[in-house]
């Protein structure tokens, strides 16, 4: 796969806790081969000749769905992540128009979901004005785009002010695409959605190609997992087996080693016949957990479960806590994190691995008392990259938030900007926003 020239550091997106009780109260520049749905089969902006970009009106789907406190952006990572693609297009003389969603408007335009703050911040990062269009379709948009000069940057208003965006309604799609000559998808975080601005416009705009961010996500999440150096390991955490069973099953086929953590641990412990107190358990998935362990044994793969657990008498930062063996959780107590012996075992277990993917935390890392297991595994991965050159991939969602909080994000090979998109790609699903792009 062509190595991407514009590589940027990606930071954390907000995420939820790893698991809750069942009762109330520096980037690596590596190149990978990739699977058929990845970028080596799809065109990127680097595949286009200069005359295919100069003077062209380019619609760029970015993901500027940033967290806001009123009108103040609290984390501009997603906007910063879009800059290399926009700068490249500008340098080639394109007229760049960015489209994106923000939040989940329910009934048309809502001021709190306006992309105004995003356009302002993007302008600051680019060092030029980014014109905010009053809409994403219509005559006013067409005039603004038509009057723009080479190197200008425009941002359309929130595409989800129209319900037709998520429905991928053909009439809306045609209006959205009308002012433009071609399309660039650089929004990995929404590539798993067949929406008007991610998939629909490709039917009207030729060529439709990827930007640098989308290419980089696919290079790591798809290419490294498909053909990465071995031994390969996956760290799968989070709250529920039900939400991770598909990705766990897929990674079990690809990896030699699996570390299981988070709330899903207790469904596995129950499957082994152990008492789990009031820890989170999905009784409907106990048999599934047994099947996963049986599959691992049949394939000769290794699964590591925690040997000790930090337990608490309540789901609270003020709860009483203690460390117990995984087979000695007392009634009335819940497991909320891995214990220190488990972290030490994880370090040894993963020490020879060359490619590692993390998807989900080991505990309720937002509460300090239950954060050591998650930060421990993050340190293990970061050290493997820094000291041994291993490829470490943080696969979106809670894992990204935990890695950022740990202060070790800069030591990982790649941190994904996508939550659901990362999960679906790891599961082996085809992403509509990728499949719709032009083939090479």
| 3-class secondary-structure state, position 247 | helix
56, 78, 92, 257: the catalytic one is 78
Set 397, 418, 419, 428: catalytic member: 397
| 396 φ/ψ sector (left φ>0, alpha ψ -120 to 50, else beta) | left
Cis omega before residue 231 (within 30°)? Answer: yes
What is the DSSP annotation of 25-41? -----------TTSGGG
The H or E element that residue 325 is part of is: strand 321-325
Cβ within 8 Å of residue 274, ≥6 positions away: 326, 327, 329
Tell me, yes or no, if 339 is annotated catalytic: no
User: Does 420 participate in catalysis according to the annotation?
Assistant: yes
- Among candidate residues 343, 276, 331, the one with its CA nearest the CA of residue 307: 343
Q: Which H or E run includes 421?
A: helix 420-426
- Residue 78 annotated among the catalytic residues of the structure: yes
Which strands form 321-325's sheet, in the order they lie side by side? Answer: 321-325, 308-312, 334-338
Residue 291, phi then psi, degrees to nearest 5: -65, -40
Catalytic member of 43, 123, 420, 429: 420
Alpha helices in 234-285 (DSSP H): 241-254, 265-271
Helix 398-406 with 372-388: angle, nearest 10 deg: 80
Distance CA 80, CA 61 (A): 14
**The tokens 């150096």 sit on which residue?**
229
Let me know: does 157 contact 114? Beta carbons within 8 Å.
yes
Rounded to an integer, what distance in angstroms lies between the CA atom of residue 144 and that of residue 229?
Answer: 49
397 as an active site residue: the answer is yes
Residues composing the chain: 440
- CB count within 10 Å of CB 163 equals 13
Q: Give the C-alpha separation, 83 to 125, whole Å.
A: 8
In 3-state terms the chain splits into helix, strand, coil percentages (rounded to 5) of 40, 15, 45
**In this structure, what token pair is assigned to residue 421?**
């998109």
Candidate list 175, 240, 254, 408, residue with the active-site label: 240
Residues marked as catalytic: 78, 240, 397, 420
């Amino acid at each position: 796969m062509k190595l991407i020239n514009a590589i940027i550091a990606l930071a954390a997106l907000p995420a939820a806790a790893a698991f809750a009780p069942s009762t109330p109260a520096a980037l690596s520049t590596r190149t990978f081969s990739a699977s058929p749905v990845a970028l080596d089969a799809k065109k990127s902006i680097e595949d286009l000749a200069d005359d295919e970009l100069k003077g062209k009106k380019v619609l760029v789907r970015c993901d500027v769905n940033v967290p806001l406190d009123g009108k103040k952006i609290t984390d501009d990572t997603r906007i910063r992540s879009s800059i290399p693609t926009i700068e490249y297009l500008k340098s080639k003389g394109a007229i760049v128009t960015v489209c994106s969603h923000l939040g989940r408007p329910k009934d048309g335009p809502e001021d709190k979901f306006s992309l105004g703050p995003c356009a302002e911040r993007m302008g600051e990062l680019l060092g030029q004005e980014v014109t905010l269009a009053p809409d994403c379709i219509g005559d006013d948009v067409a005039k603004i785009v038509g009057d723009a000069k080479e190197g200008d940057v425009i941002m359309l208003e929130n595409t989800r002010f129209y319900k037709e965006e998520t429905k991928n309604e053909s009439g809306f799609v045609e209006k959205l695409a009308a002012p433009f000559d071609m399309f660039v998808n650089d929004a990995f975080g929404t590539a798993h959605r067949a929406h008007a601005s991610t998939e629909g416009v490709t039917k009207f705009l030729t060529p439709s190609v990827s930007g640098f961010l989308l290419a980089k996500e696919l290079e790591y999440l798809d290419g490294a997992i498909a053909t990465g150096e071995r031994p390969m390991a996956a760290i799968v955490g989070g709250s529920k087996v039900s939400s991770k069973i598909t990705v766990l099953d897929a990674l079990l086929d690809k990896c030699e080693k699996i570390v299981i953590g988070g709330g899903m641990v207790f469904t596995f412990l129950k499957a082994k016949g152990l008492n789990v107190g009031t820890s989170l358990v999905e009784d409907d998935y106990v048999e599934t957990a047994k099947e996963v362990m049986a599959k691992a044994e049949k394939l000769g793969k290794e699964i590591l479960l925690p040997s000790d657990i930090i337990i608490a008498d309540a789901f609270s930062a003020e709860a009483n806590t203690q460390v117990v063996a995984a087979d000695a959780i007392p009634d009335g107590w819940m497991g909320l994190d891995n214990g220190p012996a488990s972290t030490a075992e994880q370090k040894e277990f993963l020490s020879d691995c060359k490619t590692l993917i993390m998807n989900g935390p080991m505990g309720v890392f937002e509460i300090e008392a239950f954060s050591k297991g998650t930060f421990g595994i993050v340190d293990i991965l970061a050290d493997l990259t820094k000291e041994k050159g291993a490829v470490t991939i943080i696969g979106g969602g809670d894992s990204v938030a935990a890695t950022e909080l740990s202060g070790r994000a800069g030591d990982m090979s790649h941190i994904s900007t996508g939550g659901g998109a990362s999960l679906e790609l790891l599961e082996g699903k085809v992403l509509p926003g990728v499949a719709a792009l032009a083939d090479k």
